[in-house]
Chains A and B, each alone.
Chain A
Amino acid sequence: LAKTTQPISMDSYEGQEVNITCSHNNIATNDYITWYQQFPSQGPRFIIQGYKTKVTNEVASLFIPADRKSSTLSLPRVSLSDTAVYYCLVAGGGATNKLIFGTGTLLAVQP
């Protein structure tokens, strides 16, 4: 399974756009990139998934360059409630493939 590298922590202020970049140099051809959000003492929550180029949903955008060796999660106009740990995962497509969590990025949003 591809190993991922993310910043340990990031700080932001309410209303700002936050971009969290993840490196996955050894991504395989059939791997998808998925981001999860986790609040303290809760299970992770799916944010977004993509294979290449750009994916956007109601909460975030995911940018994936052509070589797919990195990806960037973009959170528009964050609020205090977006303070959480964000995990980037790389795994084969399909929900029955095991996920290996890296360290994640602790995003702290301040007023």
Chain B
Amino acid sequence: GAVVSQHPSRVICKSGTSVKIECRSLDFQATTMFWYRQFPKQSLMLMATSNEGSKATYEQGVEKDKFLINHASLTLSTLTVTSAHPEDSSFYICSAGTTANNEQFFGPGTRLTVL
């Protein structure tokens, strides 16, 4: 299947700093990318949907000013956690989809730890 990568795989930062996570579709052009957050022992929670060249659509309860999403090209979406706090520590996962397929492809995830 198609490959989606995330960078970095894990990051530790101090409270108050901003962290950028990249999601790339390596061998296909993704019409749409999705960002999820997963806390320990819990399911994935959809944060936002982003289409290339347009503003992301955020799920209810997700602060758009805190979680900045940029989808500048068909192969790259970034999630920036601004002014991160310990409660933002989580596993962040992206997925990518194209209208040509029925299957969304998920990235390996990024473990964020905020001290």
Chain A interface (Cβ within 8 Å of chain B)? Answer: 32, 34, 36, 41-46, 49, 87, 93-104
Contacts and interface: CB of A to CB of B under 8 A. Distances in A.
Contacts, number: 66
Interface size bracket, B side: 20 to 34
B75 interface: no
Contact of A95 (B43, B101, B108): B101
Contacts of A99: 34, 46, 95, 104
B106 A94 contact: no
Q: Which secondary structure characterizes the binding site on chain B?
A: strand
A100 B109 contact: no
What 5 A-B pairs have minimum CB-CB distances, sorted nearest first? A95-B97, A43-B106, A96-B32, A101-B44, A95-B101
Interface of B: 1, 4, 6, 31-32, 34, 36, 43-46, 49, 91, 93, 95-99, 101-109, 111
A96 B109 contact: no
